[in-house]
Amino acid sequence: MGRDARPAEGSSEAADIPLRAVFRSGTFVTAALGAFAAYWVMSAKLTWLPDYLRTVVGWDLDRAAAAVGGGAVANGVVLLTHGLLARRAVLGGRVGRLPTGAGAGLLLVASAGAVTVFATVDTLWIKVPMMFGPMAVALVMITAAQTAIARITPPAQRGVVLGALVAVFALGGVVSPLVLGRIVDSAATAKAGYENGWLVTAALLLVTGLLAACFMRPERDAERLGVPESPGTAAPVVH
């Protein structure tokens, strides 16, 4: 893993580099944290949102289930739309105005704002739309993180590094229901507990989003690590 071998002359494939250099890079750390936060909010919506809509908002089971299902559909629409926009930008040769990677972080920040509104506003015509597009935009970080980390990793080592990324962000799906459940149980009322839990989620999205916006720079880190661009990493991270 730590060999100093160089690719043969004329080859565009990078030699292996020490994995610790990839794992310590600003791109890997912030992309992994951002994806963790995105998976956290997705898991929180799937596990605790139905009970929240029933016990706090006062909806019946059918209405709550329909809303959660609609939120899942919105997640897919957001990811599909991002993919189509990314492909269109590649085919059109357009360069984003923001540094590569910053856009995904800012989407986490936007999602943090949506979660905050959802947690603190009781007016349904404001609260309900937050469950769909605004809260779902955080999921773009999951795909953007994989693209960014593939860019800074030599092809022969991408399987290991991307596996490590998945291991990190998958923890969000495990930890999120446990933490939110503990917060709700420890509060005086279900309403207060859920509000605190959603605000913790918003804070996580905000902090990781700002870190990604500032330090997730795959092109810069790839140049520093000596990883040339390959056809498999030519797609932009976010737009």
Q: No. of H helices and E strands in the chain?
A: 10, 0
Confidence bin at 165 (pLDDT 50/70/90)? very high
Count the residues in the chain: 239
Residues 79-100: pLDDT tens digits? 899 888 878 877 776 666 677 7
Structure token pair of residue 15: 């030699």
Closest CA to 118 of 194, 186, 54: 194
Q: Half-sphere exposure of residue 91, counting CA atoms within 13 Å on the CB side? A: 6
The distance of Cα 214 from the centroid of its chain, to the nearest Å, equals 15
Q: pLDDT by residue (tens digit) across 10-58?
A: 445 567 899 999 999 999 999 999 999 999 999 999 999 999 999 999 9
In the chain, the domains with their CATH numbers are: 23-224 (1.20.1250.20)
Distance CA 43, CA 128 (A): 18
R_g of the chain computed on alpha carbons: 20
- Output the furthest CA–CA distance in the chain (Å, rounded): 68
End-to-end CA distance of the chain: 33
Q: Where in the chain does DSSP place strands (E)?
A: none
